[in-house]
Chain A
Amino acid sequence: MNSVRNLFRDLLHYPSAILGLVIIAILVAVGVYAVVTIPYAEAIRLWRGGEDVWYQNPKNAAPAWFNYFTTKDLPSTILITSRQEEETILSKIQAEKVYKPRENGQDITITYTFEYPYDEFPKDLIFYLYGKFDQKAPFAAIRWYTPDGREIRITDTAVQTRLTYRFLQDEKLKRRLKGVSPEIGLLADPNSDPPVPLKGTYKIVIEATTFEPNSDLDGEFVLHGQLHGWAGTDHLRRDLSLPLLWGIPVALAFGLLASLGTGTLTMIIAAIGVWFGGWVDELIQRITEVNLVLPFLPILIMLGTLYSRSIWVILGATILLNIFTGGIKSYRAIFLQIKESTYIEAARAYGASDSRIIFLYLVPRIIPLLIPGLVSGIPSFVFLEASLAVLGLGDPVLPTWGKIINDAQFNGALYEGYYYWILQPAVLLMITGLAFASLGFSLDRIFNPRLRGL
């Protein structure tokens, strides 16, 4: 315990180590938060979910922080629905619904009111209409009221069980708007050229008529904004906050396990080789040389392409291929010195078993040397996972940072100007890498007296 306290006292002399520790602590906290609030099964369901999970989100919407970098106020998504029970992934506004009974049915008026204070036009306008009926479908007339009092007819239609009305695909509406695309034509100030949005309160009214006593109609209006959440969305409308959050535990776990596994196994194998000497030592040295010939990344790629892309398989292969590398030689040199110490001789004299000597006398001596290596090794493994994902060999189910970059790269995010798509996971990767690397650097100087003060 005392030595741990001393270690922390030493670490406090290095500002970079403090910064690294703080960042790691934050990452661990957020990682735990992510796993607790979004359980594994839920995360995978959302990540693998398609249009039915994410349909309310805009495609490729920039994150909310993007607004700080533009002089214009960009619209967020607006969701207004008349349905009561529905659970939505967005916060919703409740539409106002009035029933007026009639013979053999009823007249329904649903009013959707929303403020539009933004400087840019939305990405998309969609109505999801739900009809409830036995024989004859209800009929709906949709009208759009602008802040300056104009009334625009949107459409008149019979509503089957489910009807998706896309404003942008309605050619008749476009013609009524004199050839201007609806997301611009409906919201533009009529006196502006080039068009700018008319700010104020907009109203959409559905006048519906049902033809059966129990028949009903509901509608959900979605105005897809240019911005979405704090992380934005990707080409499949998925909220990027999910993979960004879940990428933390995945990256930390992969880096930590790979580094820990490689480090400890290398150390134990080096100790065994030195202790038994002879053919065991010789064999370990030869395996190390053979391993130098093997191409590491291509083998991982082959595994991913031919066998399995599961993160656990890749983790195992990574550890296995990283055991017999240069590290084993430097550990061996140190163990050779320790083996000659008098306390080892004493242990041998009183008849300590081989495993006792290896695990209780040899290995603990070298742990101080191991720790800096372990910590500085983490970033390279975190980046390895991302690298494989960038090559399209990421785990098929898990949401990770590398997969975001891969998706972005594959869909030409840089060509299209969706910089946030690549920047967010890249910055997170960089912060994680830097935190562990700077902590490892400081630890190295504390544990290696030769480097102290250099």
Chain B
Amino acid sequence: MAETTLSSNIQAYQKKTAANTLTRLLRYSAVRLVTLFVTVVVGVYLTILIANMGGYVDEILRGEIRERISVSISQNPAYRDYTVEQRNQLIQAEIAQEEERLGLNQPFLIRSLSFLRNALTLNFGRALNMTSDSGSRQVSLILLERLPSTLVLFGTSNLLLFFISVFLALALSRHYGSWADKIIVALSPTSAAPPWFYGIFLILIFAAWLRVLPFGGMVSAPPPTNRLEYALDLLVHMILPASALFLSSIFLSIYNWRTFFLIYSSEDYVEMAKAKGLTARDIERRYILRPTLPTIVTSFALLLIGLWTGAIITETIFNWPGLGRTLYRAIGLYDTPVIVASTIIFAYLLAITVFVLDFIYALLDPRVKVGGAQ
């Protein structure tokens, strides 16, 4: 008898908590979404202010327009018969038209707010100076055109890096203290150097000295027409930059994961599992990987969104036509729409990832409650 009352009690309790969980979940999601959105808005507005140097870029652009139009009109033979007065009028009219086209006739504060609105609604508009390879001035086209090259390079190297380092780290944590382990620990400080630094050495050895791999670029010129040859050519061009990215962080990455796994494998419950006589595989899967899964997933998710920004300097050194180099060129050309578009996409990706991760934690780890007490 006692048992049935207990089970019905539990059922009632579960129903009540289910309803509670739902409201808590909804409220939490709403608050979280609002704070994340505000964060994105503030971050993007700050980027807009910085990218425009608080309106200073407008002055630069105005000066450029004035100079370009004055020179082109004064050198145009068609206007040779005009008087100075007429020519000045023409120049003023053209400047006004050009400024209106670029929206420079409005004060910067208003412009910055409309930039913000456009950015938030993913309406990137047209670039000021840059064009895509197909000749379009649409910012979204300029960025989309570069996305595949960044994805193929950074996707390959980062995914390889991630999986290889996690698996090697797991293996090393099992053989803690072995010579392989010691070598990795000794080599981990080498990750202090950024990828472009390794890139220079790799170019020196394999391109300049041995002449077996290309200096940079994504495909040979002219690019092969055959699809298979194209893929092979791409692969050959990818070896050096991908190795540079891989080499620059592999040792530290393995070291960090290994230390992380080691800390978890010295927990009491792991000792307990060992005492029970479970196999090493089971211990690893259930008692080490399971509790560390949230961290692994977080790091993987951040890695994925990190792909968006590419790596400015590595792409510059290897002449790789990716997003990072596009961003660098955009800064050099004061092309704020491109800079802002790149930032807002990253901000949105980050906000969405952070939001989704909270729920993934709760799914992976029963101890974590979404919106529960901190």
Contact = CB atoms under 8 A, between A and B. Distances in A.
Interface in A276-304: 286, 289-295, 297-299, 301-303
Interface stretch (A95-103, A184-192, A411-419): A411-419
A61 interface: no
Nearest to B40: A293
Interface string A204-225: 0000000000000000000000
Contacts of B156: none
B339 interface: yes
A292 B56 CA distance: 25
Nearest to B263: A450
Interface stretch (A1-9, A351-359, A428-436): A428-436
A438 B190 CA distance: 9
Nearest to A450: B263
A331 interface: no
A307 B332 CA distance: 12
Contacts of A441: 188-189
Nearest to A292: B350
Contacts of A301: 312, 328, 331
A305 B192 contact: no
A293 B346 contact: yes
Contact of B192 (A390, A391, A436, A454): A436
B144 interface: no
Contact of A298 (B35, B40, B188, B312): B312
A434 B187 CA distance: 10
A417 B207 CA distance: 11
B103 interface: no
B197 A429 contact: yes
B167 interface: no
Interface residues of A, number: 47
Interface string B242-271: 000000000000000001001100000000
B316 interface: yes
A379 B327 CA distance: 25
A419 B50 CA distance: 38
B339 A298 contact: yes
A349 interface: no
B342 A295 contact: yes
Interface in B293-324: 309, 312-313, 316-317
Contacts of A290: 39, 42-43, 46
A415 B188 contact: no
A429 B343 CA distance: 31
A292 B347 CA distance: 8
A417 B317 contact: no
Contacts of B351: 293
A346 interface: no
B192 A383 contact: yes
B209 to A, nearest CB: 8
B189 A16 contact: yes
Contacts of B201: 426
A110 interface: no
Contacts of A379: 192-193
Contacts of A434: 189-190, 192
B312 A433 contact: no
Interface in B188-204: 188-194, 196-197, 200-201, 203-204
B78 interface: no
Interface size class of B (residues with CB under 8 A): 35 or more
A294 B317 contact: no
A146 interface: no
B115 interface: no
B189 A405 contact: no
B207 A438 contact: no
A302 B196 contact: no
A451 interface: yes
Contacts of B192: 376, 379-380, 383, 433-434, 436-437
B180 interface: no
Nearest to B51: A302
Interface in A368-387: 376, 379-380, 383, 386-387
A430 B263 contact: no
A306 B190 contact: no
A432 to B, nearest CB: 9
A295 B189 contact: no
A417 B197 contact: no
A295 B186 contact: no
Interface in A421-451: 422-423, 426, 429-430, 433-434, 436-438, 440-441, 450-451
A192 to B, nearest CB: 29
B309 A295 contact: yes
Interface of A: 16, 286, 289-295, 297-299, 301-303, 305-307, 376, 379-380, 383, 386-387, 390-391, 405, 409, 414-415, 417, 419, 422-423, 426, 429-430, 433-434, 436-438, 440-441, 450-451, 454
Interface of B: 35, 38-40, 42-44, 46-47, 50-51, 53, 56-57, 176, 186, 188-194, 196-197, 200-201, 203-204, 207-209, 215, 259, 262-263, 309, 312-313, 316-317, 327-328, 331-332, 334, 339, 342-343, 346-347, 350-351
What 7 pairs across the A-B complex have the smallest Cβ distances?
A: A293-B43, A437-B189, A379-B192, A433-B192, A437-B192, A414-B208, A293-B347
24 contacts: A290-B43, A292-B43, A293-B44, A293-B47, A295-B309, A298-B312, A298-B328, A299-B50, A302-B53, A305-B334, A376-B192, A386-B197, A387-B313, A390-B313, A417-B208, A419-B204, A426-B197, A430-B197, A433-B189, A433-B192, A436-B192, A437-B189, A441-B188, A450-B263
Given A290-B46, A306-B57, A430-B197, 13 more contacts: A292-B350, A294-B46, A294-B343, A299-B47, A305-B331, A306-B56, A306-B334, A380-B192, A383-B192, A383-B197, A414-B207, A415-B215, A434-B189
